[in-house]
Structure 1
Amino acid sequence: MQNIVILAGNLGADPESRTTQGGTNITSIRLATSRPRYKDGKIVRDEQGRRVQDTEWHRITCFNGLGKTVQEHCTSGMKLLVRGRIHYTKWTDQQGNDRYGCEIIAETVDFLSRGKPAQKDEGYTGNYNDLDDDIPF
């Protein structure tokens, strides 16, 4: 049996990164996925005739090199495809209550829309949107 998750959605905020005392880079993102709402087997529509969507938010954790890539290239609103596994956690809060959480541990992240532009190199004054136009084939 395998624990496999595949999610395609929009990044809800810019990635947040931290480094553990042991040197592990951890990057966290929030991904929104949507699906149409159904009632009596039919898609629910609003007053303007548009489909009503139910949105779910997923906590995604990326480690080390993958986390660094996500931090460098992703920004709020981007479309991403995340492949990974579900990870459940349990902890005790300050009041002694058991708390539970669920996150997705990312194994791969594919960019379905353009990411942030690369950092500007010293001395380059051209347009970063067309850097590959001059590559001969």
Structure 2
Amino acid sequence: MTLRNKVILFGHTGKEVEITQFNKGMKASVSLATNDYYTNTQGEKVEETQWHQLIAFGKLAEIFEKYVSKGKEIAIEGKLTYREYEDKEGMRRFITEIRVEEVLMIK
């Protein structure tokens, strides 16, 4: 069995898709909210929201641009990626993103 870097998420987009044009194509970026529920030690049901940054390239970016908007419920399959950059003040910043390989529109 080959182990892969694979992420599957179901959630709602938190903002409008941002499109970046490059010489060889385009990139779509959007945040995705997923919710989890658990019962705390006081017996209360708690909802916990996690935010994930999604990126898609090429044809998938075009699909995101055309069909995905704020609040859209989607399911994605992709892989976890990490990158770093230096901001304007010279500080190193780290970003965790999910590079989308498949998308399914739920609603």
Please, what TM-score do these two structures have when normalized by structure 2? Answer: 0.88
The residue number in structure 2 matching 1:84 is 78
Kindly indicate whether the alpha-carbon contact (under 8 Å) linking 1:36 and 1:44 is maintained by their aligned counterparts in 2. Answer: no
Distance in structure 2 (CA, Å) of the matches to 1:43 and 1:10: 27
Structure-to-structure mapping, 1:26-45, within 5 angstroms: 26-40=27-41, 44-45=44-45
Q: Could you tell me how far apart the structure 2 residues matched to 1:99 and 1:35 are? A: 28
Larger Rg: 1
**Deviation digits for residues 84-117 of structure 1 (CA, Å, limit 9, x no counterpart):** 001101122232222111000000010011xxxx
In the alignment, which of 17, 20, 45 is matched to residue 15 of structure 1?
17
Larger RCO, structure (CA 8 Å, separation 6 or more): 2
d(CA) in 1 for partners of 2:80 and 2:86?
20
Provide the residue aligned with 1:123 in structure 2: none
Count of residues in correspondence between the two structures? 105
Give the distance between the partners of 1:14 and 1:29, measured in 2 at CA. Answer: 7
Root mean square deviation of aligned Cα:
1.6
Moved over 3 A (4+): none
Aligned to 1:24: 25
Q: How big is each residue's C-alpha offset from its partner over 1:12-56, in whole Å with a ceiling of 9 and x where there is no partner?
A: 122111211x2321011111000114323x7623xxxxxx31111
Counterpart for residue 126 of structure 1: none
Percent identity over the alignment?
26
TM-score normalised to the size of structure 1?
0.70
